[in-house]
Structure 1
Amino acid sequence: MAQYIERYQRRRLITSYFSVVLSISLVLFLMGILGLLVFNAKKLADHFKEQITLTIFLKDDAKEIEVNQLQKSFALADYVKSARYIPKEEAAEEYSEDIGENFVEFLGFNPLKNAIDLNLQADFVSPVQIEEIANTISTKTYVDEVSYDKPLIELLNSNVSRLSLWILVASAIFTLISVLLINSSIRLSIYSKRFIIKTMQMVGATKKFIRKPFIVTNVKLGMLGALLALIALSVTLFYLDQSFPELQLFDDAIPLLVLFAAIFGLGIAISYISTHYATQRFLNLRTDRLY
């Protein structure tokens, strides 16, 4: 019978520890994801900005030397990220694949024009700057038209700052929720040992002596939970870097090290503070209130 009770208590203890570690690791992992969003908000915004294409349609009588000079000027321009020349024959093939029909054979001629697709540097993707760039390019005599999605650029620029603000707000709210969740898990774990705490106090143990083993145990659990969260975060970060190499997530090592250190430190700090106040609560509680 005694062995059965001992095994039962050991299972309860392991289950309690497991729940604390799991809750800490899950909460810290989600906080790490939010931290990555905060640190890489500008990179994400720049990535989307640099996907916007400025298309330059050339006149049919444009000379090859003029087109080459234009491409060379784009290669030297500080506002250009990439430039791609698209002959009208290639454009016709792509368009025919999109609509599933050879429109050139149907019309008897190719109505499309030779074009250059420009992707701009993110710092130059704003309604005013793009309009200035488009107007400058349009002044060239061999340029027929400069086309870009003006409403999309205005929408993107207006939403980038708003998105960054909401990410910060969400991070602050989630940090508070995380502290409360971890605190609740630790308090529940200590609640099951409230009678042991009170018994030790009644036989003359000091509050510091009683608190110490609980703090040491829960800080170790906090460190374990933080390590599990960091492992999961590293795997997620590696997967994102493989899927979106253009974001260059590993290029800035210092912010990542700061984030990882903050998550690990937060796991220890929350565990320590929560355990301290949870044990203090039961130490100050009257015996008849334990029930």
Structure 2
Amino acid sequence: MSQFGKAASKRGKPSYFMSILGVTLVLFLLGIVGWITINSQKLIEYFKESVEVQVFLKPNIQDTARQSLQNYIAAQPYTKAVRYTDKESAKKEWMKTGGEDFTEFLDNALLPTSIDFTLKADFVDSVRLNQIKTTIGSNPNVDEVKYPTAVVGKMQRNFNLISLVLAGVAILIAVLVIVLIDNTIRLAMFSNRFIIKTMQMVGATRWFIAKPLNIRAIVNGAVSALIAIALVYGVITVAERFLPDLQALRDNGLLLLLFLALIIIGITITLFSTHRSVVKYLRMKLDELY
């Protein structure tokens, strides 16, 4: 029996090499798509969290009341960052946008003090922003609450469309990956069909025949995934070197999950396809193998 196992190993080496190469290329493609998807989601999150809400305060508000309101906003689950803008800061912000230096108006309400805050990405949509605006606007010390309504509306529609397109592409690539890996393994196992059938004819059990091939499939899947991970990481490193802004989008936690998913996918599909092929050839008659 051991001689048949050794013969199978020797004769299967070329096909195993091609299967490892094929699975590696497919997993590399999936890894690149996954990385692009992760970066796109992080970029969407960055743009959402750049939306600023301005809470304009009434004139002559007491400092204790202003601080109390600022602490209330900072404690809310939707707040990412908060800052107080006094009249002098408001003047500087006005002049940065190209406005004239209306120094004589500094004491009136043309440049009111405000509490400005940005929101966490999950809360940046028209419905939640309107609720936040209504809640904060009901405070007696608040004159007006503003946020870029048009920008938020367009952002919401465009980002929803982008998310749907990315999800569709990811699902399509995932299906193609499964099909391509399955076909690659089936072609690799095709060259071993006579060895499998010969072992069965001399009395080897199904488990005895399938076990070494299944173990080899697990090893091949893991090797393919590790090579694909190395290639994907190489692409990421080169891309971040030429585009330094990509470093700000990197999420090591999500990248680790992506790499773990590649290993699981590589091993699972390779093992499943190999075992299915073995069972298929064991059930076939000898004449059907030709």
The TM-score bracket by the shorter chain reads 0.5 to 0.7
Greater shift, 160-169 or 50-59, is seen at 160-169
Partner of 2:186: 187
Name the aligned partner's letter for residue 225 of structure 2: A
SS at match of 2:60: coil
For 1:137-156, what per-residue CA distance to the aligned partner results, in whole angstroms no more than 9, with x for missing partners?
A: 44556644321122444455
Q: Matches of 1:41 and 1:96 in 2, distance apart?
A: 34
Partner of 1:146: 145
Distance 1:231 1:95, change over 3 A: farther
1:243 counterpart = 2:245: no
Partner of 1:27: 26
Which of the residues 93, 100, 104 maps onto 1:103? 100
Structure 2 residues not aligned, in runs of 5+: 1-9
For 1:259-281, what per-residue CA distance to the aligned partner results, in whole angstroms no more than 9, with x for missing partners?
A: 76664343233223322444566
The answer to whether the 8 Å contact 1:200/1:210 transfers is no
Partner of 1:118: 117
SS at match of 2:101: helix
Partner of 1:85: 84
For 1:158-186, what per-residue CA distance to the aligned partner results, in whole angstroms no more than 9, with x for missing partners?
A: 67777766666555443332121112222
Structure 1 residues not aligned, in runs of 5+: 1-9
Name the aligned partner's letter for residue 101 of structure 2: V
The answer to whether the 8 Å contact 1:197/1:210 transfers is no
> Percent of aligned pairs with the same residue?
30
Partner of 2:274: 275
Q: TM-score, normalising length from structure 2?
A: 0.62
SS at match of 1:130: helix
1:133 counterpart = 2:132: yes
Distance 1:97 1:17, change over 3 A: farther
Output aligned runs, 1:1-291, within 5 Å: 13=13, 16-28=15-27, 31=30, 49-58=48-57, 61-63=59-61, 65=63, 66-94=65-93, 96-97=95-96, 99=98, 103-104=100-101, 112-122=111-121, 124-139=123-138, 143-154=142-153, 170-192=169-191, 197=195, 200=198, 204=202, 208=206, 214-229=213-228, 243-244=248-249, 250=253, 256=257, 263-278=262-277, 284=284, 290=290
Q: Matches of 1:244 and 1:19 in 2, distance apart?
A: 35
The answer to whether the 8 Å contact 2:197/2:286 transfers is no
Q: Matches of 2:202 and 2:95 in 1, distance apart?
A: 88
Distance 1:133 1:232, change over 3 A: same
The answer to whether the 8 Å contact 1:198/1:287 transfers is no
Q: Matches of 2:70 and 2:278 in 1, distance apart?
A: 71
The answer to whether the 8 Å contact 2:221/2:270 transfers is yes
Partner of 1:7: none
Q: Aligned residues, how many?
A: 267
SS at match of 2:216: helix
Q: Matches of 2:88 and 2:135 in 1, distance apart?
A: 27
Distance 1:167 1:285, change over 3 A: farther
Distance 1:177 1:154, change over 3 A: same
Q: Matches of 2:128 and 2:288 in 1, distance apart?
A: 73
Partner of 2:7: none
Name the aligned partner's letter for residue 51 of structure 1: S
Name the aligned partner's letter for residue 103 of structure 1: E
The answer to whether the 8 Å contact 1:218/1:272 transfers is yes
